[in-house]
Structure 1
Amino acid sequence: MERDLLSHLFVVAAVARRKGFAAAAGELGMSPSAVSHAVRLVEERLGQAIFARTTRSVALTEAGEALLAGISPALADIADEIERLRAAKGRAGGVLRLNAPRLALPLALTRILKEMVEKHPDVTVDITIDEGLADIVGEGFDAGVRLGEMIARDMVAVRLTVPFQAILVASPLYLARRGRPERIADLAAHHCIGFRGIRSRALYRWELSENGKDVAVETRGPLVVSDAMSALDLAKEGLGIAYLFEPLARADIAEGRLVQLLAETAIEEPGLFLYFPKRASLSPKLRAFIDTARRVQRQVSAEAASLPQARP
């Protein structure tokens, strides 16, 4: 193979992963024209198009899909070996691509990232906010963050948070206007802030506990959002009842901006986990992130244990 073709194959892989020339250029630190030149050179050497281009999208051709299927494992091996050599000198480096819902930042990631920036300055953590269930391998991510119950069994999972409850909240202003629900059936008469994932058309049914049994409750209201943080903001403005993970609303409840409703109906969720294919755990940049996450979780647990226990 011609020697100069190898470096251009990494560019081709980035364009396929990012589904665009400009996005690939940003990832690689190159100009869009340089990315375009690299792809054009590979296509000329191969004698066929790798990408089908329109003014709005870039997609792999059949030949491009075959090429990427063949070269991706080898390119990944090369990148991993370079990272291992760097790590042998005591420093992890490279770009760590994570796929996570927006709520993962306040619940877990922000504190981890503070330590990553300080202790591993050569690692760039590139986070794509995604409320759906991404194919992290197929879409080129190193790892994802999701609730434990949403992770496929063939993935390695590392806990990022302790389990937490899913609760109902509303502002004092909303409750003064529309009253307070006394049981689950009362929710039908309230403005419930709905949730619909970006990749789903169906509204999420609120999972609650009634008489010791889990129930899925269909709700209705004038507002629907695609992420929990938006629901939190709208609830604080008095626009309806929100279904949220308790840590997201904890400060607002403590300071009186929100009120927890129907506390007996709250269910416990397993918490957030980092997940990735087993092979990825060999990557020094991912190992650095995992070690940092575990250290932060120990710190959080120690801080929680040191707090005075609330009296019944």
Structure 2
Amino acid sequence: MRREDLADLTVFLAVAEERSFTRAAAKLGTSQATLSFTVRRLEERLGVRLLTRTTRSVAPTAAGESLLETLRPALTEIDGKLATLTELRDKPAGTIRITTSEHAAEAVLWPVLERLAPEYPDVRVEIAVDQALTNIVADRFDAGIRLGEQVERDMVAVRIGPDLRMAAVGSPAYFACHPVPQVPQDLTGHACITVRLPTAGGLYAWEFEKDGRELKVRVEGQFVLNSPALHLKAARAGLGLAFVLEGHVEDDLREGRLVRVLEDWCPPFAGYHLYYPSRRQPTPAFALLVEALRYRDTQRAAQKF
């Protein structure tokens, strides 16, 4: 393979994955015109059309999809081999790409990165905050962070946080005008702040459990919001009940801005896990991050770090 072939294939992969010459150009740090010329040159050399272009979108042709199936694992393996060269350095180095939810990034990931960054300046970390369940292999992430129940079975999963709990909350002003729900079924008579599932597209049904009995309640309300911060703003304003992670509302509960209900119906569940493909060969930088994130009790963590 000639050097220009590898370079052109890398450009094609970026455009095909981004479905946009503009986004691919920004990702690669070059111009849209340069990418367009490169892809046309590759198509002419191969004698087949790889991309279908319209004024609004770019999509791989059948030949393009076939080429992508070969390119993705091959380039991922090359990236892995190059990354292992960092073992020759005195300290870990390289780039780690992670997809995560906003709460996991703030509560679990960032405190560790903030501690490690000064000691390991050659380790670069790219964090993509996304509520959807990203395909880390297809999107070429090194790892993802999600709740334990959301991790696919063919992935290596490392626990990085304690169990979590949900909390159903409302403002004192809201409960001054509405009865306090005693059981989850009572929520059908309340204004509830809902969220649309990023993957399935439907509205999230609030999940409860007590004495082994599981309940899912399809709630309704005036607002459908995909930001926990907005859920809390709406709840504090008395616009409805919110159902959020317990950690989001500790200050509000302590200071009386919000009141918790149905607490006995909200048991702990598996917390955050870092996950990555089982076939992945960890680089020193990645192994360092995994060990730093690995969940331990406070005493053991203090002894090691």
Scaled to the shorter chain, the TM-score interval is 0.7 to 0.9
Instruction: Give the corresponding residue for 2:298.
Output: 301
Which amino acid is 1:163 matched to? D
Aligned CA distance change for structure 1 residues 54 and 289 (closer, same or farther; 3 Å): farther
Aligned pairs for 1:11-30 within 5 A: 11-30=11-30
Which amino acid is 1:198 matched to? P
- Asked whether the equivalents of residues 18 and 24 of structure 2 are also in contact (C-alpha less than 8 Å), the reply is yes
Instruction: Give the corresponding residue for 1:310.
Output: none
**1:63 CA drift (Å):** 1.3
Instruction: Give the corresponding residue for 2:35.
Output: 35
Aligned CA distance change for structure 1 residues 182 and 3 (closer, same or farther; 3 Å): closer
- Asked whether the equivalents of residues 103 and 229 of structure 1 are also in contact (C-alpha less than 8 Å), the reply is no
Which amino acid is 1:174 matched to? Y
- Asked whether the equivalents of residues 167 and 261 of structure 2 are also in contact (C-alpha less than 8 Å), the reply is yes
Instruction: Give the corresponding residue for 1:171.
Output: 171
How many Å separate the matches in 2 of 1:289 and 1:94? 12
Instruction: Give the corresponding residue for 1:115.
Output: 115
Aligned CA distance change for structure 1 residues 304 and 250 (closer, same or farther; 3 Å): farther
Instruction: Give the corresponding residue for 2:261.
Output: 261
How many Å separate the matches in 1 of 2:272 and 2:168? 19
Aligned CA distance change for structure 1 residues 111 and 22 (closer, same or farther; 3 Å): farther
Aligned CA distance change for structure 1 residues 292 and 271 (closer, same or farther; 3 Å): same
Name the SS for the 1:156 alignment partner: strand
**1:250 CA drift (Å):** 1.7
Instruction: Give the corresponding residue for 2:128.
Output: 128
Name the SS for the 1:244 alignment partner: strand
- Asked whether the equivalents of residues 120 and 288 of structure 1 are also in contact (C-alpha less than 8 Å), the reply is no
**1:285 CA drift (Å):** 4.1
Instruction: Give the corresponding residue for 1:231.
Output: 231
- Asked whether the equivalents of residues 187 and 217 of structure 2 are also in contact (C-alpha less than 8 Å), the reply is no
* TM-score with structure 1 setting the length: 0.86
**1:246 CA drift (Å):** 0.9
Name the SS for the 1:214 alignment partner: strand
How many Å separate the matches in 1 of 2:204 and 2:6? 46
How many Å separate the matches in 2 of 1:198 and 1:34? 34
- Asked whether the equivalents of residues 72 and 138 of structure 2 are also in contact (C-alpha less than 8 Å), the reply is no
Kindly, what percent of the aligned residue pairs are identical?
Answer: 37
* TM-score with structure 2 setting the length: 0.88
How many Å separate the matches in 2 of 1:254 and 1:304? 28
How many Å separate the matches in 2 of 1:90 and 1:99? 28
- Asked whether the equivalents of residues 154 and 277 of structure 2 are also in contact (C-alpha less than 8 Å), the reply is yes
Instruction: Give the corresponding residue for 1:84.
Output: 84
Which amino acid is 1:98 matched to? I
Describe the superposition over 1:97-119 as per-residue Cα deviations: whole angstroms up to 9, x where unpaired. Answer: 32222322233222233235434
How many Å separate the matches in 2 of 1:82 and 1:96? 13
**1:155 CA drift (Å):** 0.5
Which runs of 5 or more structure 2 residues have no equivalent in the other structure? none
**1:281 CA drift (Å):** 4.4
**1:30 CA drift (Å):** 2.7
Instruction: Give the corresponding residue for 1:50.
Output: 50
- Asked whether the equivalents of residues 197 and 227 of structure 1 are also in contact (C-alpha less than 8 Å), the reply is no
Larger mean Cα displacement after TM superposition, 151-160 or 204-213? 204-213
Which runs of 5 or more structure 1 residues have no equivalent in the other structure? 306-312
